[in-house]
Amino acid sequence: MNWGIPDFLKKRLLFVTGKGGVGKSTVAIAMGIRAALEGRRVIVCEVASSENASRIFHQAAVGFKEVELANDLWAISIDPEDAMKEYVLFQLKVKAMRDLLFRSRIFTYFAAATPGLNELVTIGKIWELTQLDRKVKHGRKYDLVIVDAPATGHGISFLQTPRTFANIARVGPVHNQAMQLETMVTDAEQTGSVIVSLPEEMPVNETARLESELAGDIGLAVDRVIMNALYPDRFPAGDRRAIKRLVSSDDPDVRAGGRAALSQSRRVAAQNEQFDRLKDMVSAPISTLPFIFRPEVDLHAARRLAEELE
């Protein structure tokens, strides 16, 4: 089946972020599925050791290796320690020097004590995955790299890391690497972001603030806001009046059904109110995804969300 690829999935690199608990990891995987179904070679990068991709696809832990989940869809979980080792391997060509450095306690302490270094090497690995001429031996070439980025607060500092290091290290390889990463993050033609929200007051407020910080403070394009977990509106206004009469029924089963219907109707009304607030508060286009009535999101549900993406 071909629906036509959403415009924001045509970029080479997308960061998916949002307030914690809004479902951004699931949305990132759904985006990967959708892009792969459209014929793009995609890799989903997890950076917080959440391993959601392996859970949904019933795979063993992904880890710091590119694992194929489905046709044209791969995943990787970027561990900063592994990313640091890979970076050193690229910089030092003499194996004896690399081994000596890895065994050095001073190097270990330095790496652990340097603020932002883990984030820098993580973004460096993301940059490496986007390259058509990759440094990793037998590395695949991807059309799209989707990053399941850290939640709001940590996500902002994560994306600011290249600029911070470029300002601190005025010269040398670290400065050059940081400038390269900063250029990648702020290249609106190739790189963008998707913010995931929920139809609730705090996530909507957080989404508006996050859009301003991503675009204004970091210079990262915000291509789409996705309002996740919207309830279906099953009861038009006329039905709602009838539902209220059911709550007064003498039949306990009818009353219970009426209360359930009334509760859902009120929840839909509250969600619609928050959706209207979101439309007033953000500039980016908004897409919606339905609430998944399952104990947890499995592959079937993730594919459904992929199909719903506009």
Domain extents in the chain: 7-233+283-308
Q: What angle do CA 38, 221, 30 make, to 5 degrees?
A: 35
Query: For residue 49, what pLDDT is reported?
Result: 65
β-strand partners of 77: 46
pLDDT of residue 302: 95
**pLDDT tens-digit map of 37-60:** 999 999 999 986 667 888 898 887
Instruction: Tell me the C-alpha distance between 264 and 292, whole Å.
Output: 14
**What does the alpha-carbon distance between residue 48 and residue 64 come to, in Å, rounded to a whole number?**
12
Spans of the chain, pLDDT less than 70 = 1-3, 48-50, 91-113, 237-238, 240
CATH of 7-233+283-308 among 3.10.620.30, 3.40.50.300, 1.10.3720.10, 3.40.50.10300:
3.40.50.300
DSSP category for residue 197:
E
Q: What pLDDT sits at residue 107? A: 58
What's the CA dihedral at 157, 160, 166, 167 to 10 degrees? -70
Nearest to 146 by CA among 93, 211, 83, 74: 74
Residue 88's pLDDT is what? 75
